């Protein structure tokens, strides 16, 4: 896949993931209001859609090449073996 197409696909997946997450959070919040009689059956699906949106977001970041942003996080820098500076060969 060409770089431009990969970037477009990744950005589309990231956008779709964001929309799915926002809709899931919105439905979960609206479901708590007693004035609006929304079916409880979809409440579990709304919570699932938040996680599904996050997975779509991460897949889009991976495809489009935006995953380098995660290297700036403290947890990844200090505890991920790939990001450590103290590379010592034991053996």
Answer for the pair 31, 42: CB distance below 8 angstroms, yes or no. Answer: yes
Domain ranges of the chain: 3-33+40-88
| Predicted confidence (pLDDT) per residue in 39-76, tens digit | 777 878 888 999 999 999 888 888 887 666 555 566 66
Q: What are phi and psi of 87, to 5 degrees?
A: -80, 105
| Predicted confidence (pLDDT) per residue in 74-88, tens digit | 666 666 666 566 655
- Burial pattern 42-75, b for ≥16 Cβ within 10 A else e, equals eeeebeebbeebeebbbbbbebbebeeeeeeeee
Instruction: Supply the pTM of this predicted model.
Output: 0.65
């Amino acid at each position: 896949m060409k770089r431009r197409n990969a970037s477009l696909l990744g950005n589309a997946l990231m956008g779709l993931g964001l929309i799915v997450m926002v809709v899931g959070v919105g439905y979960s919040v609206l479901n708590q209001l007693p004035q609006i009689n929304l079916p409880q059956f979809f409440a579990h699906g709304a919570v699932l859609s938040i996680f599904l949106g996050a997975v779509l977001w991460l897949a889009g970041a991976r495809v489009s090449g935006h995953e380098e942003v995660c290297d700036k996080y403290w947890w990844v820098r200090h505890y991920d073996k790939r990001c450590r500076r103290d590379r010592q060969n034991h053996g």
